[in-house]
Amino acid sequence: MEKYLFPYGFELLENKRVFAFPAVNITLQKENAKNEFSFLVLVDSGAEFSLFTKSDAELLGINIQQGEKVNIGGVTGDKFSAFIHPVIIKIGNEKIKIEAAFSEQNNTPRILGRNPLFSHFFIIFDHKKQNTIFIPRKNKHFEKILYK
């Protein structure tokens, strides 16, 4: 069965305590651009869409102000604006065109949200073994196992 297994991407060490994060390695590319850039992003089922930074847009050659403006809020009360742009995201061998938000700031987290990626993959968090597993939705065999 086709699947992409990502060991948890990194651990934060603080005062001898360890926090593991379900981050996955993806590449991002502006449409029709040559260069792909690699990011370690947090998979966040609580986020509606994928979020990148202002500087990421500059790196990709995207003029951030030309996108549709949206307002974003976090649970801690912070608010900021972002701009929606089409980009090509690569996860494993799967290349998908998505609409991603680029924050007008650089100090916002980089996250992989639900829309539309969670419709392209079944995503399993195996916290015990500290792996995130992406199974392409086109894999009908896995869907049959889930819903039989």
Partner 1 sequence: MRKDILKINFTKFKGKEIAIVQGKIVASGNSSKAVFAMAKKQFPQLETKDITLLSVPREKVAIYILIK
d(CA 56, CA 119): 24
Neighbours of 44 (CB within 10 A): 17
110 binds partner 1 (CB under 8 A): yes
Please pick, from the candidates 4, 5, 27, 96, the single residue that binds partner 1 as defined by CB under 8 A. 27
Total residues interacting with partner 1, rule: CB under 8 A = 50
94-112: buried (b, 16+ CB within 10 Å) or exposed (e) per residue?
beeebebbbbbeeebebbb
DSSP 8-state assignment for residue 63: -
109 binds partner 1 (CB under 8 A): yes
76 binds partner 1 (CB under 8 A): yes
| Residues that bind partner 1 in the complex, under the rule CB under 8 A | 7-14, 18-21, 23, 25, 27, 35-40, 42, 44, 46-49, 51, 53-56, 58-59, 70-76, 79, 106-111, 113, 130
